[in-house]
Structure 1
C-alpha cells in the first residue's frame, strides 16, 4: 500500500480503485459495524435504470469493497454514504515512471501520461491486426489469381489519428462503459510496427465468460467483482457470494428473480409473476431415480436439457468461486436433489459428474443452496454420489480443488463413514483396500482421512489402525444425532452406457 492521509483531507470524488478506507457496514436495521475495506471497483448509479432503487438523497457512486481479514464471499457493493470520511485512508502505491534510455527510439519511449501510453498501445494493436489481415488475405488468395493485390506494409498513423479511427468502446473500458482507472503494471509498450503479445480487454473478457463458459481467462480482473447483490428463488431471498456471467442487462440490479422450477431469471417480480402463469414445470426435467419421504433425486442429461442445465450452472456460480464451466454442459450428468411439497419439487442442491471421467471422479461439481445449508443436505448429496459409485462397482473421489465448504463436508463424511465401518468390524482385521471397497472411497482419500484422524500407528514394525477413547466418544456422540440417510433400496437406477457417438461433444 501507499501513503496514508488523515481523515477530513479527502472527499468521495478523490477516492480511486486500490484505496483502503473505513466504512460503516449495516449489520441489521439497528446495528452497524466499522470495518476497513479495499476498494476493488467503482461504479456510478444510473438514475434512469428502472430496476435500480435510487434514493435522491444518496450519493450516485457505489464502491465494491473487500473487507480486510474477512472472507471473499462477503465482498459487496456499498453506497458512498457509508464511507467514514473522518477516518484515515491509505492510497494505492504510486507507479514508477519508466525513463527512456539513449538506445531506446523516441517513438517507443514511455510517455509520462498514462492516457498517451494507452493510446499508443491501441495504435500498435490496430496496426498489427491490419498487418495480419493483409497477410491472411494474401495467403488465402489462389496462386495466379487476377486482381490479387500484393500485401503492402502498413504504416501506423499517429496516436491521435488511431484513437479517432478506433471508435466505440476502448479496450480499457469495462462492460459498464466505465473507464478502468487502474494503471497497467508491468506491461511493456509495443513498438509502432510491432503487435503486442497480448492486450487485455474487459469487454472481450466478459464476452468470453458468457460464450465460452470459462471463468478462468483472467479471474483477477473480472471475476473478482460480484455483479449481483441478491437473488430471489421461491420463498427465499439469498445474498450472492461471487460473480456469475448473467447477461449484462441484469447486472447491478438489487434483486434477480429466479423461477424455482425452470430456473429462468427475471429483473422484476412482475415479470416473474407473468412467467409463472405460463411455466408448467413442477419438477426438474429429468428421470426421478430416488424417492424417500419428501426427498427425491432426478437424473438429467446435459445434452438433452441444455437450457435448464445452463441456468443451473449460472445459479450455482453465484455461490461457487472455483466453478469453471457453465456453457458446455453436454459432457455431464446432473443429479438434482429436491424437496417435495404440495406445490412441487423444490431445488435443494445438486452434483454433476462427467459421463466418462479419465480420473475416475464421481463428482465434478457439488452445491447445496445457501438457504438449505447446515441442515444435513450436504452429507446427503455426498452419500448419494457414493451410492451411485457403489452401483457402478467402482471407487470414486470428487474433482479437485474443492471449495472451502466442500472440503469440510467431504472430510466430515469420510471420517464418519470410515469410523462407522471400523466400529462395526470390532476386533477383526481390515486393510486399506477393504475399507475402500466397502465404502467406494478411493485409496488416497481413505489414507488422507486415517492420517488426519491419527488412526495409523506403528506397532512392532507394522502399521496398524488404532481407535483411542476420545475418537470413539466423539463418534458415539455424533451417531446419536438423527440425520437423513440414503436408503439404497429406494434407488431405482442403472449406470448409463453411452456410445462413442453420444460421447462426441461440440460437433
Structure 2
C-alpha cells in the first residue's frame, strides 16, 4: 500500500468518491469523525469497518467517517461515507474560504448561535446588508452537516436533505420519528407508538378552506398555533436549503395541504405567507414533502397562492430571491397560465393579464422575455404571440394531468381591513 493510500483525508480536501450506485464524482470533505461516532448526523451508507480499527490513537483513513459534498451537486446529496468510498490516491487540496469564526468551534454540531439575524426576512429572503451577509455566512458554515439522517413519518421513511435546528438532544440521531398529524417529534419508535396511542389529532389546526375529494387545505395563523407551525418549519427545514431560518412564526399565515385517508388528514406540503408584506409578496416559503413530490402539488400550491391574491384584489409574487428549483417551478406555472390565456383570449396586454391572473407585471414580462415573446416599441413592452408556439407548448405540457387549485372548492375571503 502506497503512502498516499494510508494518509488520512483532511477537511477541505477533494477526492474522487463513489456514490451508492458506484459512479465516481469529485467530493469535498466538509467534516470527519471517528468511526462509530453518531454526532453530526446519520452513520455512513455502504461503508465497511475493518477489524482491529479501534486503535487508541486513530491515524489511518479507515479510522474515520467523512462528510462529503459532491462538487457541482445540490447539498441535499451530501452524506457520511467511509474511506472505502474515497479514492485516496486522488486527494487534492483546495483553498479554504475565510470564515469569521473558524477558531475553536466544532462545525455542524447542535443549534447555531445566530439563526435569525436582525433585519433578515425571517429566513426566506436575502439582504445586501454586510452585517446580515456575514451572519448568513456564519450560519451556512455552522449548518453544513446534516444533523438528522432520516425521518419516519407515517408509512414513509425519508432521507433528509439539509440541517434543521432541532433541539440539541435530537442532533446526531440516525432517525427522527414524527407524528404525521400533530408533527410532534421523538427519538424512538417506542415513544412514537406510545404517542400514537394517546394522540387525538387527525388533522392540522386552523380552518379548512379547501376541499376537493381527498385533498384539503388548512389555513393556520402562526400567532394562534405557534407550536404546530414551529414543528412544521423544523420539519420543512430538513428539505429546504435556506441560508437563515425563522422561529418567530407569529407574523405568518400557513396554508397546509393534506391528503385524507381513513386515519386522518396527513400533511402533503404547505406554503407560508407574511401577513403584512411591504414588498407585496404572496408567498414566503413553499414545500412539497419528498414522499408526495412529482404528483403535481407544486403547481397546486403556487396556484392556490395566486387564487388567494385574486380574492384579495391585488397582484402578488413569491419572495425573492428564488432558488434555482423555485425559478423553474414558478416559470413553468407562469408560462402555463399565460399561454392558456393567449390560447383562450388571443391578444391581451400585460396590465390586463396582471388583473386576471394576479401575477405581477415584472413576473409576466420576465416569463415572456424568457420565451422571446416581448418586444420593445416606443419605450413600451409589446407582446408578440406566435399561435403555433403557444399551441405546441400546451399540447406538450397538457399531455399529463395538471393539478391546479379549483376556485369553486376554495371557501375563503379576505378578512375585513386586509384588502
Structure 1 and Structure 2 fold alike (TM over 0.5): yes
Are 2:74 and 1:71 aligned? yes
Give the direction of change, closer, same or farther, for the CA distance of 1:326–1:461 in structure 2 (3 Å limit): closer
Q: Which residue of 1 aligns with 2:128?
A: none
Give the match's secondary structure for 1:470.
helix
Q: Which has the larger radius of gyration?
A: 1
Q: Hey, what does 1:490 align to over in structure 2?
A: 409
1:80 match: 83
Residue 355 of structure 2 is matched in structure 1 by 437
SS at match of 1:262: coil
User: What do the CA deviations read for 1:481-504 (whole angstroms, capped 9, x no partner)?
Assistant: 3232322122111213579xxxxx
How far is 1:88 from its partner? 2.4
CA 227–48 in structure 1, closer or farther in 2 if over 3 Å, else same: closer
In the alignment, structure 1 residue 372 sits paired with structure 2 residue 304: no
Q: Secondary structure at the match of 1:276?
A: helix
Unaligned runs of 5+ in 1: 1-6, 96-121, 123-169, 178-202, 500-507
Structure-2 residue corresponding to 1:471: 390
CA drift at 1:327? 1.1
Q: Give the alignment of 1:314-393 within 5 angstroms.
A: 314-322=234-242, 324-393=244-313
CA distance in 2, matches of 1:24, 1:230: 21
Matches within 5 A, 1:495-506: 495-497=414-416
Structure 1 residue 461: Cα displacement: 9.7
Q: CA deviation at 1:68?
A: 2.4
**TM-aligned CA distance change 1:497 to 1:46, over 3 Å:** farther
Question: What do you get for the CA RMSD once the two structures are aligned?
Answer: 3.1
Residue aligning to 1:173: 105
Q: How many angstroms apart in 2 are the aligned matches of 1:48 and 1:333?
A: 36
Secondary structure at the aligned position of 1:308 is classed as helix
Deviation of residue 206 (structure 1)? 1.3
Cross-structure match for 1:161? none
Per-residue deviation, residues 157-216 of structure 1 (Å, max 9, x unmatched) = xxxxxxxxxxxxx96132788xxxxxxxxxxxxxxxxxxxxxxxxx8x713339998683
Mapped to 2, the partners of 1:372 and 1:18 lie a distance apart of: 35
* TM-score, length basis structure 1: 0.70
1:61 pairs with 2:64: yes
Q: Say whether residues 1:38 and 2:28 are aligned partners.
A: yes
Relative contact order, higher structure (CA 8 A, sep 6+) = 2
Alpha carbons of 1:439 and 1:44: their partners in 2 closer, same or farther (altered >3 Å)?
same
Contact 2:311 2:414 in 1 (8 A): yes
Counterpart in the other structure of 1:159: none
1:101 corresponds in structure 2 to none
Deviations 1:71-94 (A, max 9, x none): 222111112332333x32113459
Using the TM superposition, give the Cα deviation of residue 376 of structure 1 relative to its aligned residue in structure 2, in angstroms.
Answer: 0.6
Paired residues of 1:314 and 1:326 also in contact (CA < 8 A): no
- Deviation, structure 1 residue 470: 3.1
In the alignment, what sits opposite 2:93? 91
Deviations 1:424-478 (A, max 9, x none): 113xx42110000000101111111111111224689983432242332121332
- In structure 2, stretches of 5+ residues that fail to align are 52-61, 124-134
